[in-house]
Amino acid sequence: MINRLQLKTFLEKYKEYEKIGDEFMNKIPRQIRDGYFDNPYVESLSKQVDLILRTWINSKPLFDEIDWFLYEWNPEKGLNEITTGQGKMFVIVTVDDFLDYLEYQGYLTDDFV
């Protein structure tokens, strides 16, 4: 289990920084962008984030959920629906929607751990 407020703070900041980076990268010509991302240094950055998350989040299923939210979630492209094993569907539009889903799944606590 993980503290809801701590995770919310992390996810909001992560998405904020991602948006800033995306806006900057979209101003750079495509060929230069492709060259920038195709190297071991940039690849190691995402591996570092994953390492930190795996260390902080000691649950593989919870890590997988957060990984989906960080790297695949995209409401603008329709990649924002999750159906639980019990058949309940969640439409994730905001960080709070995602946290509500995690709470339903039993991953969150109000306690600081």
Say if 111 falls within a structural domain.
Answer: no
Domain that holds residue 86: 2-105
Say if 101 falls within a structural domain.
Answer: yes
Calpha distance 24→18 (Å, rounded): 10
Say if 93 falls within a structural domain.
Answer: yes
Looking at residue 39, its pLDDT comes to 83
Structure confidence by residue, pLDDT tens digits, 6-51: 999 999 999 999 999 889 989 999 888 888 778 888 889 889 999 9
Q: List all residues 6 or more positions away from 110 whose beta carbon is below 8 Å from its beta carbon.
A: 3, 4, 5
Say if 113 falls within a structural domain.
Answer: no
